[in-house]
Amino acid sequence: MVKVYGVKLIDDLRFIEMRSVFQACLPPEVCKAAKKFKFPAGIQRKVLGSLMLRAILFRDFNLESKDIKIGYTDKEKPFLQSYPNIHFNISHSGRWVVIAFSSKKVGVDIEKVRKINFGIAKRFYSDEEQKQLFLQTDKKQLDYFFDLWTLKESYLKALGTGLTKSLSSFTMLHTKGNYSLHEADEKNEAILKQLFIDRNYKLSVCSFGEKIKGDVSVLYINDLLEILQV
């Protein structure tokens, strides 16, 4: 079963005070990569995402830190080099970082709901998606836009194609309260689900072959450090 975990960023001052503790749990290459981010939130997302990944791999999959070697596909999708049956995907937005784990291909996307230019839909959404979007009332339109966006992104991330596959090349149809994926001339076995994590965010998961657990397991900093035995 696909399981999704989330961790919320902490106050920047507290993060700075605890940064040495966090870095002690991570390999040098992760700490070096975190330094490349310009803003504190970017550094936190990298560090806390890496901590959560390692904590879950240790607790649920019995992988020690030395066992965790991250590789990247030619489309920059991360994977575990020595464990082809453990799949994961990471996403972050605003103050949240989320990770989905599965035994098969999986994708997850989280987005903070914010004001946008709906003209973006004409570039990235299919004709049917645009039609349904602009039929929504003003109050629902923004939520509907981010429902579609996260669902479509989670599908692309599960495929591992990145944006080499056009977002407008497939359609998310909304019927009877559920979304389904439709793609011309292609048999599709994607399982899609939206999960709640925060009223100001949208979160979607896409799986190939595994059911998706119906809630997000939220972890806190102390949880991660306790799992990693710090």
Structural domains in the chain, CATH included, are 2-227 (3.90.470.20)
pLDDT at 163: 67
Give Dmax (Cα) for the chain: 54
The whole-angstrom separation of Cα 197 and Cα 213 is 13
The whole-angstrom separation of Cα 112 and Cα 198 is 9
pLDDT at 185: 66
Residue with the larger pLDDT of the pair 38 and 154: 154
Q: Which residues pair with 207 in a beta bridge?
A: 106, 191
pLDDT at 87: 97
Q: Which residues pair with 181 in a beta bridge?
A: 172
The whole-angstrom separation of Cα 107 and Cα 191 is 10
Q: Which two tokens stand for residue 41?
A: 């939130």
Residue 25 neighbours by CB under 8 Å, 6+ apart: 51, 54, 65, 225, 228, 230
Collapsing DSSP to helix, strand or coil, 115 comes out as coil
pLDDT for 210 beyond 80: yes
pLDDT for 99 beyond 70: yes
- As a whole number, the mean pLDDT across the chain is 92
